């Protein structure tokens, strides 16, 4: 388990050893002990962390309603009658009971800390990202050197617009906390599209070495601009490669994004 944060709040990240390679998160206010659980899958592990740190669960926040992000909801909220599930209105039908809608621009308070809510559809229509200080919880919108698929109720045009208008607009030092650990495959795909990119090669070496020690890498929005092809839509080397080898016709950023997403689906 990794712990991030400062004197005011802590973030616990832990990896679930399933085939989907999920991450679960708990955010807590150090002064009050109130916490929010994000996308619980392994409820037993979540409740162990809650007990060990003497926390009270105020919210379960679901970035979206795919089964691997909500299936631990009920055992987690059963622990406290006062806790609630927070999800975008378009996800309400998938979760029950005690669920409340939150939308773009809302602020969620956990003890003394404030989390800003961004609506980032594309992986699915109800997808939310959560901003706490210089940490962004992106669910399945982006991953280290990649982005979410659009196979289950998703749309690549919406995903393009969420990434290019909302996530790309965050400061370079914003740390990305995503829903799955897919970094090695994503970097290998990135290298297949952008083979001369030294930053991608270096990050792949770093990621391989960390994973071999059972450590999980972290990246920032600024780093993603260097090696994530879905953030590099106006890069000449990528565009030329897609035109020469993958029948890219229009080279506007949205068409490049959609082509990259199609190629990643088949890769
Ligand atoms: Zn998902």
Centre of ligand 1 from the C-alpha of residue 152, in Å: 8
Dihedral of alpha carbons 223, 229, 234, 237, sign: positive
Q: Report pLDDT for 202.
A: 97
Among 157, 167, 168, residue whose Cα is nearest residue 254: 157
Domain boundaries, position 93: 2-266
* Helix or strand holding residue 77 (H, E): helix 73-77
Using only C-alpha atoms, what is the Rg of the chain? 18
Centre of ligand 1 from the C-alpha of residue 21, in Å: 12
Centre of ligand 1 from the C-alpha of residue 215, in Å: 23
Looking at the 3D structure of the chain, how many domains does it have?
1
Centre of ligand 1 from the C-alpha of residue 243, in Å: 30
Centre of ligand 1 from the C-alpha of residue 113, in Å: 26
Show the beta-strand stretches assigned E in 69-186: 84-87, 99-101, 107-110, 113-119, 128-132, 135-139, 142-143, 146-147, 175-178
CB 207 within 8 A of CB 199: no
Centre of ligand 1 from the C-alpha of residue 70, in Å: 10
* Rounded Cα gap, residues 31 and 99, in angstroms: 26
Q: Report pLDDT for 97.
A: 79
Beta bridge partner(s), residue 23: 15
Look up tokens 């909302």; give the residue.
166
Extract the tokens encoding 154: 């998703």
Q: Report pLDDT for 73.
A: 96
Give every residue of the chain whose pLDDT is below 70, as ranges. none
Domain containing residue 90: CATH number:
3.60.15.10
Centre of ligand 1 from the C-alpha of residue 155, in Å: 13
Q: Report pLDDT for 96.
A: 79
Q: Report pLDDT for 225.
A: 98
Centre of ligand 1 from the C-alpha of residue 89, in Å: 17
* Rounded Cα gap, residues 61 and 50, in angstroms: 15
């Amino acid at each position: 388990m990794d712990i991030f944060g400062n004197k005011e709040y802590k973030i616990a990240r832990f990896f679930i050893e399933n085939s989907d390679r999920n991450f679960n998160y708990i955010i807590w206010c150090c002064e009050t002990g109130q916490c929010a659980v994000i996308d619980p899958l392994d409820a037993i592990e979540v409740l162990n962390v809650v007990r060990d740190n003497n926390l009270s669960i105020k919210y379960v926040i679901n970035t979206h309603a795919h089964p691997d992000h909500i299936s631990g909801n009920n055992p987690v909220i059963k622990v406290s009658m006062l806790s609630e599930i927070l999800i975008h209105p378009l996800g309400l039908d998938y979760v029950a009971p005690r669920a409340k809608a939150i939308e773009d621009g809302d602020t969620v308070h956990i003890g003394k800390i404030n989390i800003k809510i961004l609506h980032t559809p594309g992986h699915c229509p109800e997808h939310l990202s959560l901003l706490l200080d210089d940490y962004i919880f992106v669910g399945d919108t982006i991953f280290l050197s990649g982005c979410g698929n659009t196979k289950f109720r998703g749309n690549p045009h919406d995903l393009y617009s969420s990434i290019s208008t909302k996530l790309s607009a965050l400061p370079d030092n914003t740390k990305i906390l995503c829903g799955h650990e897919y970094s090695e495959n994503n970097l290998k795909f990135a290298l297949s599209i952008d083979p001369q990119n030294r930053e991608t090669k270096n990050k792949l070496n770093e990621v391989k070495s960390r994973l071999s020690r059972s450590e999980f890498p972290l990246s920032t929005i600024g780093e993603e601009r260097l090696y994530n092809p879905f953030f590099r839509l106006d890069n000449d080397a990528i565009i030329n490669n897609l035109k020469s080898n993958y029948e890219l016709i229009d080279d506007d950023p949205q068409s490049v994004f959609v082509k990259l997403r199609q190629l990643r689906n088949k890769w």
